[in-house]
Structure 1
């Protein structure tokens, strides 16, 4: 019913509303620029076919088209210092380590609490792992926007970093 693909100019960025203005604005104004400059890559969830989009419109989601963004996430590379990692695993690493940063993850308001966030996160982890097999990355780091988002990541194995409960890390190895 959905497919995940890299963001392009053909996707309806203006129709996306996740309820967090900073995330909506970043998708509309910054995501494609960062992609063009090689800063990050944004993956979007969209209806897999025109027929799926029509079925969702028939079910009451009037503004969904085949180009509608249902959710998205962005990945980039980063370095972290071990003092910023969860204390129980920091001892395994040298002073600085390469990581994959999950910079943004959002689901449109009318699609929230239906499992799409979990699908996006699983895809992000899978892509980060595939990249790490080629270029090296010790794990994934994310800065949760709020306590609820931090709990979401913790349900999937992310651990809070030392003294920063909303900065979370997931070791890949």
Structure 2
């Protein structure tokens, strides 16, 4: 049985095969989670298979509420 590890998102984690069944959440992880880390707007934690670094689950914490229309363009639309 594989035992997953919870880790802070890093550049080493493999996001390309992640599929939680929600294309919006899959896309957010792949396209915006690292940007949120870089701008300190969110902290993402992932569950990974320790033998491969493949992400099998995630959650992101944000200590704020910001309406998209009120956010600066770089935050509101992310960065790919």
TM-score range normalised by the length of the shorter chain = 0.7 to 0.9
What is the alpha-carbon root mean square deviation over aligned residues?
A: 1.1
Aligned residues: 63
Pick 1 or 2: higher relative contact order, CA cutoff 8 A, min separation 6.
2
Which has more strand, going by share of residues?
1
Q: Deviations over 1:100-146 (max 9, x none)?
A: xxxxxxxxxxxxxxxxxxxxxxxxxxxxxxxxxxxxxxxxxxxxxxx
Any unmatched runs of 5+ in structure 2?
Answer: 66-80
- 1:42 paired residue among 21, 38, 44: 44
Q: Deviations over 1:135-163 (max 9, x none)?
A: xxxxxxxxxxxxxxxxxxxxxxxxxxxxx
After TM superposition, where is structure 1 displaced by more than 6 Å over at least 4 residues in a row? none
Superposition pairs of residues 9-158 of structure 1, within 5 angstroms: 9-48=11-50, 50=51, 66-78=52-64
TM (norm. structure 2) is 0.73
Which has more helix, going by share of residues?
1
Q: Larger C-alpha radius of gyration, 1 or 2?
A: 1
Any unmatched runs of 5+ in structure 1?
Answer: 51-65, 80-173
TM (norm. structure 1) is 0.35
